[in-house]
Structure 1
Amino acid sequence: MPLLLLDLDNTLVDRDAAFRGAVADFFTEHGLPVSDLPWVMGVDAGGYTPRPDVAAALVGRYGDIVPTAAVRALLDTGSAARVVLADATRRALDEAGADGWTCVIVTNGRTAQQETKIRNTGLDALVHGWVVSESVGHKKPESEIFHAAAAVAGIPLSGAWVIGDSAHADIAGADALGLRSVWVSAGRPWPPQPFAPTHVAHDVASAIRHALGSP
């Protein structure tokens, strides 16, 4: 069966929108200026900034007003509690399964948080498994995490498609392994890189359907 390796945050689910909503509520609860929201999102960098560094920045800025425990709660549960799975994405995953594809989520992050997102959105019932960087000790774009995903599926990695929103994590990882890939652009231009995705799609549903239609 063909193998489809799918990123989680900002690919299968809109992690940034969920985090933005959590931060907005955090500001309201603690009387913080909403004008600081872009600053927090910049520090977070789409979830790629290490959590201890984000926590340190928030405590440094708001520590006189907000308990450190509240900051950590925001980072531990804020986005995980709010992410949703779009109907279009659900339908595309259903189509992939019906077409005989094996779908595995490959995500960087902390295991507890990422598995909460997978289960809360119902993705656990739509994919054949997942690997989280914290659990396997390797993160994208390292080849080991992609090999771990293939092992979860029990399918050779060769011939797999990789779908994700990150040029440096998803597409670079696929390129290093000689795998085909779809970059989920969300309207962004492809950044200058010494490599390129096989295909560019605006959203993950379109990306999945492109892979399904490949020879």
Structure 2
Amino acid sequence: MPLLLLNLDNTLLDRAGSFRAWGEWFLAEIGAPPADIDWLVSLDADGLTDRWDLADAIRDRYALRIPAIDLVDELRDGVVAYTRLDPLVACALRIADDAGWMPVVVTNGTVQYQEAKIRNTGLDRYVADWVISEEAGVSKPNPRIFALAAQRARMPLRGGWVVGDSPESDIGGAAAVGLPSVWLHRGRSWSDARFAPTRTVDSLIAAVSVVLGG
């Protein structure tokens, strides 16, 4: 039973869509122009912007008196609350499992929020296990986090695949550990000359199809 090592945000769960949905609600709550959602999404940078920096920018732009710590909590909890599991993703994971693959989540982030998304959406019913960088003490693209996932699953890394949307963390991590990879392009073009994905697709269903056919 080979390993299927899967990224969480914007691979298994639509983190970008969840943030946008929360952002639209939040802007309405504070009476900000709806068009500001594009500014907010851009500033968030797919979650790469530090939450404290994002909170400070929001407070400054709208002259909010909300304490920074409360806004940081809202930024984190809000995304979790708006996160849903796409039935097509659940179906793809079931197909992979039925075909003899072992789906394991490998994600960077904090245990509190990444695990909340996994459990609250019901994703935990479709994966064998998960490894979160905060708990692991190492982050993607470091090969050790993939090795830890294999160790936790009691399966060898050899023969496995990595699927994710991040060029650096997922595809770079796969290259570092010597595994084939599938990149979810999300409308982007590949531009990193150091390494490249084995295949490029536009959805998790397509990614699973590649792995099962590979």
* TM above 0.5: yes
Q: What is the letter of the counterpart of residue 153 of structure 1?
A: A
Match of 2:210 in 1: 210
Unmatched tracts of structure 1, length 5 or more: none
Shift of 1:63: 4.5
Partner of 1:94: 94
Does residue 11 of structure 1 match 2:11? yes
Give the Å deviation of 1:59.
Answer: 2.9
Provide the residue aligned with 2:131 in structure 1. 131
Structure 2: gaps (5+ residues): none
In structure 2, the residue matched to 1:180 is 180
2:131 aligned counterpart, secondary structure: strand
Q: How does 1:1-215 map to 2 (within 5 A)?
A: 1-214=1-214
Note the alpha carbon deviations across 1:184-214, whole angstroms, 9 max, x for none. 1123222233211000111111101211121
TM-score, with length taken from structure 1: 0.93
- What secondary structure does 1:36 align onto? helix
Q: 1:153-182 deviations in whole A, cap 9, x for unaligned?
A: 111112210000111110001011111000
> How far 1:61 sits from its partner (Å)?
2.7
Q: Distance in 2 between matches of 1:104 and 1:179?
A: 15
- What is the CA-CA distance between 1:34 and the residue it aligns to? 2.3
**Superposition CA RMSD, Å:** 1.5
How does the TM-score come out when normalised to structure 2?
Answer: 0.93
Write the distance in 2 (CA, Å) between the matches of 1:50 and 1:153: 31
- Counterpart-to-counterpart distance in 2, 1:79 and 1:191: 29
- Report deviation, 1:67: 4.2
> What is the aligned-residue identity percentage?
45
CA distance in structure 1 between the aligned counterparts of 2:74 and 2:152, rounded to whole angstroms: 31
* Count of residues in Structure 1 that have an aligned counterpart in Structure 2: 214
How has the CA–CA distance of structure 1 residues 24 and 67 changed in structure 2, closer, same or farther, with 3 Å as cutoff? Answer: farther
What SS does structure 1 have at the residue aligned with 2:91? Answer: helix
1:103-160 alpha-carbon deviations (Å, 9 max, x no partner): 1001111111111111122110110000111111211111121111111111111221
